[in-house]
Amino acid sequence: MVQQSGPYISSNGLETLGLKNLAHVHWNYTSAQLVEEAMKRGEAQLAKGGALVADTGVHTGRSPNDKFIAEDPSVKDTIDWGTVNRGMSTENFEKIHARMLKHLEGKEVFVQDCFAGADLDHRLPVRVICEQAWHNMFARNMFIQPEAADLKDFAPGFTVIQCPSFEADPATEGTRSETVIAVSYEKKLVLIGGTSYAGEIKKSIFSVLNYTLPGKGILPMHCSANIGPEGDVAIFFGLSGTGKTTLSADASRTLIGDDEHGWGPNGVFNFEGGCYAKVIKLSPEAEPEIYATTQKFGTILENVVMDEGTRELDLDDGSKTENTRASYPLEFIPNASDTGRGGHPKNIIMLTADAFGVLPPISKLTPEQAMYHFLSGYTAKVAGTEKGVKEPQATFSTCFGAAFMPRHPTVYGKLLAELMEKHGANCWLVNTGWSGGAYGVGHRMKISHTRAMVNAALDGTLAKAEFTTDPNFGVQVPTSCPNVPDEVLQPKSTWDDKAAYDAAAADVAARFEKNFAQFEEHVEPKVKDAAIRSAA
């Protein structure tokens, strides 16, 4: 008989998954218990201040090329198959599943039962089964904790098995490497093997919700969200590194969440119960709320350098990776929402880190331009953040989260357009990237300026400003904003070499136009017209 322990052991055991002959099942351990187990097993260390510091090995980020969707008959015709959504035969999924179950025999596992989705009408019960205690603590941080009454007879709607020591066999199982992240919608199961990067756990369930929720009229969003003093909700779309977490963690507003949300009939709701913030070069002056979480017991720090003697953290050290991360409960942020829910958004902020330095720092979008920029999902990588990146590279990630969108992008784009029209939301494009020149010549936009612009947009001040039309992108640019120099608002005025600006802006506009060609046959003429004006 399998030995089991934990404060809440579910009556719905693991037998239905085929897990058997396990050495021990640790059910729903608390964070304190999981810290103890992680340290006892040598999985992680405790830093000064109390955070748990873990290394993820060779995988310091997601492995998008190792992600697969089982070609189950019930979903085969509704997935947008391609380089993002790679198919895996149901036979190969079964092979991997069977071998992973066999691999776990005789081992101890840690189980967390939790929910994804703060909207009680649409939440997904999720069971996360891990080899290591710190990964199970990550799941506990990132998902929503059920009430005690919900745990006794918890019935998972989806299960994640996370097994870093398991290696897939590319020769016989159809994978690209020994690493695999595979989902079966018919089995309601995610298999993660060959990687210790904890973010795969949360992003796999995000992808599941991105598939299931649109059918219910709910838009899943890669965004942060907060609520103002008057109850006004704002959402912040953006790819990693564009400022979603930083800008939404505003002490004057209530934080709903920092990364993944749904927008449906009841308003906006968080998918998660925690935050997963980048912490490289984190500043206590510029980002005090997030910085404070790195000094707390209950936070997990991934790949952060620590002095072995003093246990002092060095958040500026990117020698392991630029993608250092902190996972912490949402309650660690002051003024965080205790429900994870809000009303319908009044303002939508689309964030981009333009390393070419040509997009205005803030501009107002028409509804058609909003759909255009949502489908485009533009940002730019800078030199040094990825192997082989020597100069700024334009990146277009549909819906600001293409890696997690199983359906065709226009499914999400049309939902956004419908919800914006129905609820009268304003939309703003905010460039948190470079000013005065491209990366290497100009400088990163000051956080204080970006915050001032966002605050002016959210409190209604900016809507009353005078606007000019940007000649390259067709967006409306304010001529003034409180606490921001006027010249900062007009990107060309910050460049010493005006001809170089014109050439760079024309180049980026052409990239927009080329990228959007893939969507033109799927959108209404008025959106095509917006695209032409934006790329003119």
How is the chain split into domains, by residue range? 3-43+62-216, 219-264+344-530, 274-332
pLDDT at residue number 392: 74
Span 180-228, pLDDT tens digits: 999 999 999 999 999 999 999 999 999 999 999 999 999 999 999 999 9
Q: Binding site annotation covers 341?
A: no
Q: Binding site annotation covers 421?
A: no
Write down the mean pLDDT value for the chain: 93
pTM score, two decimals?
0.92
Q: Binding site annotation covers 423?
A: no
Q: How confident is the model at residue 391 (pLDDT cuts 50, 70, 90)?
A: low
Give the whole-angstrom CA distance, residue 358 versus residue 337: 36
Instruction: Please indicate whether residue 407 is annotated as part of the active site.
Output: no
pLDDT at residue number 350: 97
As a whole number of Å, the end-to-end CA separation of the chain is: 70
The conformation of residue 484, written as its DSSP 8-state character, comes to B
pLDDT at residue number 390: 53
The CA–CA distances, whole Å, from 434 to 8, 385, 508 equal: 50, 15, 14
Residue 205, token pair as written in the block? 């369930």
Instruction: Please indicate whether residue 244 is annotated as part of the active site.
Output: yes
Span 493-511, pLDDT tens digits: 999 999 999 999 999 999 9
Instruction: Please indicate whether residue 222 is annotated as part of the active site.
Output: yes
Q: Binding site annotation covers 62?
A: yes
Helix (H, G, I), strand (E, B), or coil: what is residue 358?
Answer: coil
DSSP collapsed to 3 states, 243-269: CHHHHHCCCCCEEEECCEEEEECCEEE
Query: Is the predicted pLDDT of residue 389 greater than 60, yes or no?
Result: no
Query: Is the predicted pLDDT of residue 280 greater than 80, yes or no?
Result: yes
Q: Binding site annotation covers 113?
A: no
Helix (H, G, I), strand (E, B), or coil: what is residue 436?
Answer: coil
Query: Is the predicted pLDDT of residue 245 greater than 90, yes or no?
Result: no
Query: Is the predicted pLDDT of residue 387 greater than 70, yes or no?
Result: no
Query: Is the predicted pLDDT of residue 532 greater than 70, yes or no?
Result: no
Q: How confident is the model at residue 11 (pLDDT cuts 50, 70, 90)?
A: confident
E-only strand ranges, 2-123: 3-5, 24-27, 45-46, 52-54, 67-70, 86-88, 108-116
Give the whole-angstrom CA distance, residue 479 versus residue 456: 13
From the candidates 140, 244, 344, 381, give the one annotated as an active-site residue.
Answer: 244
Give the whole-angstrom CA distance, residue 183 versus residue 189: 6
Helix (H, G, I), strand (E, B), or coil: what is residue 422?
Answer: helix
pLDDT at residue number 385: 42
Q: Binding site annotation covers 238?
A: yes
The conformation of residue 68, written as its DSSP 8-state character, comes to E
Q: Binding site annotation covers 20?
A: no
Span 105-117, pLDDT tens digits: 999 999 999 999 9
Query: Is the predicted pLDDT of residue 136 greater than 60, yes or no?
Result: yes
Q: Binding site annotation covers 254?
A: no
Q: Binding site annotation covers 203?
A: yes
117-121: long-range pairs with CB below 8 Å, 24+: 117/144, 117/209, 117/262, 117/269, 117/270, 117/271, 118/144, 118/269, 118/270, 118/271, 118/273, 118/339, 118/340, 118/341, 119/262, 119/264, 119/266, 119/269, 119/341, 121/266
In this prediction, what percent of the chain has a pLDDT beyond 70? 97
Span 405-424, pLDDT tens digits: 999 999 999 999 999 999 99
377's enclosing H/E stretch is none
From the candidates 26, 122, 123, 222, give the one annotated as an active-site residue.
Answer: 222
185-203 CB burial, b ≥16 within 10 A, e <16: bebebbbbbbbbbbbbbbb
E-only strand ranges, 158-245: 158-163, 180-184, 189-193, 219-227, 233-237
From the candidates 63, 195, 196, 245, give the one annotated as an active-site residue.
Answer: 245
CATH number of the structural domain 274-332: 2.170.8.10
Tell me the one-letter amino acid at 439.
Y
From the candidates 240, 299, 327, 397, give the one annotated as an active-site residue.
Answer: 240
Q: Binding site annotation covers 325?
A: yes
Instruction: Please indicate whether residue 62 is annotated as part of the active site.
Output: yes
Query: Is the predicted pLDDT of residue 16 greater than 80, yes or no?
Result: no
Q: Binding site annotation covers 140?
A: no
Give the whole-angstrom CA distance, residue 235 versus residue 508: 26
Query: Is the predicted pLDDT of residue 382 greater than 80, yes or no?
Result: no
Contact 245, 286 (CB under 8 A): no
Q: Find the angle CA(248)-CA(254)-CA(257) to the nearest 5 degrees.
A: 55
Q: Binding site annotation covers 239?
A: yes
pLDDT at residue number 218: 97
In this prediction, what percent of the chain has a pLDDT beyond 90? 85
pLDDT at residue number 57: 95
CATH number of the structural domain 3-43+62-216: 3.40.449.10
Residue 97, token pair as written in the block? 């599943």
- When the candidates are 3.40.50.620, 3.30.710.10, 3.90.228.20, 3.40.50.1400, the CATH number that belongs to 219-264+344-530 is 3.90.228.20
Q: Binding site annotation covers 346?
A: no
From the candidates 123, 127, 253, 325, give the one annotated as an active-site residue.
Answer: 325
